[in-house]
Amino acid sequence: MALYDRFAALVGACGEFHVAPAKSRIAFLGQVRFASITRLRDDEMVCTLALPHALPSPRFARVEEVVPGWFVHTLTVTTPEALDDEVQSWIRESYWLMGMRERLAGRRLAPRPTRARR
């Protein structure tokens, strides 16, 4: 399918990734899932990208913050040409910030409390 092949090529241009097919979606993972295809037909594909912020673009059918700092952007595509440089930039940002967890770089986690030994 041309739409899937083009989307997978854009993901592959970002770096190493894994595909995890499931009954209801095809997930794309770096260290964690960052993109999915939720509907795939010859003439239409619905895909999602995760980002730590909302992108203001009329190309997205929906943008939803599913947990704090995890915005899912839903994009409907009907031609391979619609998967253009702008979409490539969104995929790249999603890959690095969410899939490869770069959004967490430099973030210090609170130390775990130690338990007193008896």
SS3 category, 50? strand
Q: What is the mean pLDDT of each run of 10 residues along the chain (118 residues)?
A: 95 95 94 95 96 95 95 97 97 95 65 50
Any idea which architecture 2-103 has in CATH? Answer: 2-Layer Sandwich (3.30)
* Cα–Cα nearest to 17, from 76, 105, 91, 113: 91
Q: What is the pTM of this model?
A: 0.85
pLDDT of residue 64: 97
pLDDT of residue 19: 96
73 with 51: CB under 8 angstroms?
A: yes
pLDDT of residue 88: 97
